[in-house]
Structure 1
Amino acid sequence: MRASRLVSLLLLLQNRGRMTAQELAATLEVSIRTVYRDVDALSASGVPVYAERGPAGGYRLLDGYRTRLTGMTAEEAEALFLVGVPGPAGELGLGSVLAAAELKLRAALPAELADRGGRIRQRFHLDAPTWFREPEPTPHLAALAHAVWSDRQVRVRYRRWRTPREVERTLAPLGLVLKAGRWYLVATVDGQARTYRVGAILELTVLDEPADRPDGFDLARCWQEHADRYEQGVYRAEARVRMTVSALESMPHVFPPAMSRAARAAAGEPDADGWLLTTVPIESVRHGHTELLKLGAEVEVLAPAELRERFTATARRLAALYPAGGG
């Protein structure tokens, strides 16, 4: 365990330059006293690590020193080959780069680790898109990725769901996120971080103006906060329903996760006939009608009245299409 930590400490100093004992302790999740001991151990083993005093001080390696030691375990080598995602990398214009990096990694690794890495690529595959959805064309993705990487602003013509349907915006890109097979751009406009579906961008121009990144910006945290707000804000109404136990159990397979989770959490005890009461979050009456129809005759809408009336009208039309006796 300590040997692995010493390698991590060495690579941290090699990749980041000067780091304080507090920074090293926080990154390695150890005490500052442990950092002191580890630095002494590295120095005793011949690694040219030294301390700089003063407010801007810290530990650093002698200029020009680099180690070829990776300390890579078999599991780490396997994980590196697992993270390669050829489809998304190709969409970003990095397919050939990823392939070249994998070849170099194979060449640099001992034969045993290279073989283990190759085996995992033959046994595990990541298919990002969801079922029953065609890939979304993203002709501007590669140019957008370049703008993100080079911190350049972009001007876009964007199609959205509300009127006016097409708008123009000047954005400061912060990052790209692949979610369920669709690419999203996180960018600031008027100082606010917002999210845009890349497939809805109709035109894109990369500008010469720099895109300023907020201090301490964390793309993963920003995306998670956006996803939480979206999930909480999109369901603005509720439907009180009566459904069978089998319908409730099938909800995770046919409903969005937030709807399924809430319905299962609110479900009461089933009666003798296997029916129970629960509450399902919905975006609107129209949305609730579309979603709950998936459960067929195993759900009865009790409220709101407008939604129940829609189901009544649908049932009557279906009865007219399929009269008793098949006539």
Structure 2
Amino acid sequence: MQISRLFKIVYILLDKRITTAKELAEHFEVSIRTIYRDVEALSSAGIPIYASQGKGGGISLLDDFVLNKSLLLDHEQNEILIALQSLSVTEYPNVDTVLSKLSSLFKKDKLNWIEVDFSAWGSSKNQKEKFNILKTAIISDHMITFDYFNSSGIKSSRRVEPTKLIFKAKSWYLQGFCLAINQNRTFKISRMRGIEATGEIYIQRSLDEQPGDSPENQFGDRLDLQLRISSEGAFRVYDEFDENDIVKNEDGSFTITTSLPESDWLYNYILSFGTVIEAIEPPSVREIIAAKLATMLNKISR
């Protein structure tokens, strides 16, 4: 029990940097005297732990202390290396060097079993550069400016304090504080143009959830759908729909029962399947798609 508590004390100090004997005693439900004995035991084992008196004092570790590899279980070491390999997709500075050093420390030599790449096939150099500008601006707390096209295609100029990059539903998003509207917003990166870091340093704000440009708030109510996709469209069925929503028919076609947000996006999405899809329910979807096709045909025949 004591050995387990000693390790947990080290982990707590690595996370909080400083705490009091009273707080540790309450956390572990032991006496303050027991905590001081634990501190002595850790110090005797070579852990650079010390206690300071007075206001703002407490128990802490030396600032440059890091965990020895022996304190990490084998699966924990693997998880650290996997996380670093995933991080390399962002071309984060020096991540390959850190990965190499930790691999050597942990005596792990299988580094090439996984590769993470969120970019589309044939991504241009410009797309990767866009990501690097955003990453650097977030890390260095630099303001950025860009032109943004919303879901209706309306262009606006934005000046933003970037906070976080988010990868969700096959797309990258930027979360940040938009000075044009004085609110937090989420921007789809593929709709951002002319991104520039201004060099202005900003003070981080707290990011409360806000409505507006976030992906969850761009669409209306969800619509219950029944779709039929022919066997020629099979390559998209299992990529884009949940397995529980799919029924394979005897003729090789698929019936999809699902719920999607109702918007222009929905109808354009259905049209993207071309002739391999049929909207069965509700009838209103068929009518709207028929009207869109008629408009398209009219434009082509002019």
Matching residue of 2:159: 170
Matches within 5 A, 1:228-239: 230-231=215-216, 234-236=219-221, 238=223
Instruction: Quickly say closer, same or farther: Cα 1:151–1:43, change in 2 above 3 A.
Output: same
Is residue 165–residue 174 contact of structure 2 (8 Å, CA) maintained in 1?
A: yes
Task: Give ranges in structure 1 of 5+ residues lacking alignment.
Answer: 316-327
Following superposition, the deviation at residue 39 of structure 1 comes to: 5.5
Is residue 243–residue 298 contact of structure 1 (8 Å, CA) maintained in 2?
A: yes
Matching residue of 2:298: none
Following superposition, the deviation at residue 197 of structure 1 comes to: 3.1
Matching residue of 1:43: 40
Is residue 289–residue 307 contact of structure 1 (8 Å, CA) maintained in 2?
A: no
Matching residue of 1:320: none
Following superposition, the deviation at residue 177 of structure 1 comes to: 2.6
Matching residue of 2:139: 149
Post-superposition Cα deviations, 1:174-199, rounded to whole Å, max 9, x if no partner, equal 12234466442211024422122334
Residue number among 267, 275, 281 corresponding to 2:260 in the alignment: 281
Matches within 5 A, 1:231-250: 231=216, 234-236=219-221, 238=223, 241=226
Following superposition, the deviation at residue 137 of structure 1 comes to: 0.9
| 1:78 corresponds to 2:92 | no
| 1:195 corresponds to 2:198 | no
SS at match of 1:81: helix
Between the two proteins, what is the percent identity of the paired residues?
18
Is residue 155–residue 207 contact of structure 1 (8 Å, CA) maintained in 2?
A: no
SS at match of 2:203: coil
SS at match of 1:76: helix
Matching residue of 1:323: none
Post-superposition Cα deviations, 1:35-64, rounded to whole Å, max 9, x if no partner, equal 954553232342564555677454224x57
Residue number among 106, 125, 144 corresponding to 2:103 in the alignment: 106
SS at match of 1:10: helix
Q: 2:31 & 2:133 partners in 1: Cα distance? A: 43
Following superposition, the deviation at residue 211 of structure 1 comes to: 1.7
SS at match of 1:204: strand
Q: Which amino acid aligns with 2:74?
A: A
Matching residue of 1:213: 204
Following superposition, the deviation at residue 234 of structure 1 comes to: 2.1
Q: 2:198 & 2:203 partners in 1: Cα distance? A: 15
Q: 1:194 & 1:59 partners in 2: Cα distance? A: 40
Q: 1:230 & 1:2 partners in 2: Cα distance? A: 49
| 1:33 corresponds to 2:23 | no
Instruction: Quickly say closer, same or farther: Cα 1:76–1:23, change in 2 above 3 A.
Output: farther
Matching residue of 2:289: 310
**TM score, norm. by length of structure 1:** 0.62
Instruction: Quickly say closer, same or farther: Cα 1:288–1:254, change in 2 above 3 A.
Output: farther
Instruction: Quickly say closer, same or farther: Cα 1:157–1:311, change in 2 above 3 A.
Output: closer
Q: Which amino acid aligns with 1:150?
A: S
Is residue 173–residue 188 contact of structure 2 (8 Å, CA) maintained in 1?
A: yes
Instruction: Quickly say closer, same or farther: Cα 1:313–1:57, change in 2 above 3 A.
Output: closer
Q: 1:49 & 1:57 partners in 2: Cα distance? A: 13
Is residue 154–residue 170 contact of structure 1 (8 Å, CA) maintained in 2?
A: yes
Task: Give ranges in structure 2 of 5+ residues lacking alignment.
Answer: 295-302
Q: 1:143 & 1:293 partners in 2: Cα distance? A: 32
Q: 2:66 & 2:276 partners in 1: Cα distance? A: 68
Instruction: Quickly say closer, same or farther: Cα 1:137–1:35, change in 2 above 3 A.
Output: farther
SS at match of 2:109: helix
Q: 1:213 & 1:23 partners in 2: Cα distance? A: 29
Is residue 239–residue 281 contact of structure 1 (8 Å, CA) maintained in 2?
A: yes
Following superposition, the deviation at residue 283 of structure 1 comes to: 2.6
**TM score, norm. by length of structure 2:** 0.66
